[in-house]
Amino acid sequence: QKEVEQNSGPLSVPEGAIASLNCTYSDRVSQSFFWYRQYSGKSPELIMSIYSNGDKEDGRFTAQLNKASQYVSLLIRDSQPSDSATYLCAVNPFGGSNYKLTFGKGTLLTVNP
Amino acid sequence: DTGVSQDPRHKITKRGQNVTFRCDPISEHNRLYWYRQTLGQGPEFLTYFQNEAQLEKSRLLSDRFSAERPKGSFSTLEIQRTEQGDSAMYLCASSLDVLPQETQYFGPGTRLLVL
């Protein structure tokens, strides 16, 4: 069974620190990787997508992908209390056509003022 | 608002009743997905449409569940004879099949509580 694993947390960091969120996946043919942020009681909101090995930066967010290690991470620099949410890692398990996503259970991040 | 919309946002029903949810995707998106999310879990795929064609259904989608997208625009998800285990957030997402960077955008969800 194709799986996506995340540490459930909670991960607690002080305001201004770097938060590091990790995700591993089991299906080697996976091609598309996504990080969604989900506030309590709300729906997932896309934060980052990454398709190639290496780093991708967008503002305070950096996604890192290592396909050989089947590992994807999200770094949040200068963490703010408004970043407190559950972060969901999602993977396209079939490669090529993103017609469904497999999600991890999410990591709860708390940023303390 | 040009995002994905869902209706209703909340639904409370009694066990055994039928419920229907609606999803309106982003207007130019040709793919539409339904997911279900329970507390402490990530969303789980239920089914997906390419235009009006339903191309895949998860094993999670029992015979009591049916989904349609009659004109390739909005979609409905119906649950017949609801059970308490159906209580969850039902999420709709849409995307445009532009490879390789197709991205799914989620609606606000419909939270179902079966009493």
Residue A6 confidence (pLDDT): 94
Residue B22 confidence (pLDDT): 98
B84 close to A (CB below 8 A): no
Burial B28-50 (b: 16+ CB within 10 A, else e): ebbbbbbbbbeeeebbbbbbbbb
Residue A97 confidence (pLDDT): 55
Instruction: Scan for tokens 């309106």, then name that residue.
Output: B24
- pLDDT-derived band at A92, boundaries 50, 70, 90: confident
* CB pair distance less than 8 Å for B42 and A99: no
Residue A94 confidence (pLDDT): 64
* CB pair distance less than 8 Å for A105 and B41: yes
**Residue A98 predicted with pLDDT over 60:** no
Which of B43, B56, B100 lies closest to A44 in CB terms? B43
For B56-64, what is the mean pLDDT?
88
Cis peptide bond prior to B43, omega within 30° of 0: no
Residue A99 confidence (pLDDT): 74
State percent of chain A over pLDDT 90.
78
Residue B56 confidence (pLDDT): 86
Contacting residues of A for B105, CB less than 8 Å apart? 46
Sign of dihedral through CA atoms A40, A44, A45, A49?
positive
Residue B31 confidence (pLDDT): 92
**Main-chain phi, psi angles of B108, to 5 degrees:** -75, -15
Better-predicted residue by pLDDT, A98 or B25: B25
A39-82 per-position pLDDT tens digit:
999 999 999 999 899 999 999 999 999 999 999 999 999 999 99
Instruction: Scan for tokens 């949410």, then name that residue.
Output: A85
For B87-108, what is the mean pLDDT?
89
Most B CBs within 10 A among A39, A99, A103, A105, hence the mutation to make, goes to A99
Residue A49 confidence (pLDDT): 92
> How many distinct helices (H) and strands (E) make up chain A?
0, 11
A59 Cβ partners below 8 Å, 6+ apart?
none
- pLDDT-derived band at A32, boundaries 50, 70, 90: confident
B106 close to A (CB below 8 A): yes
Sheet holding B75-79, edge to edge: B5-7, B19-24, B75-79, B65-68
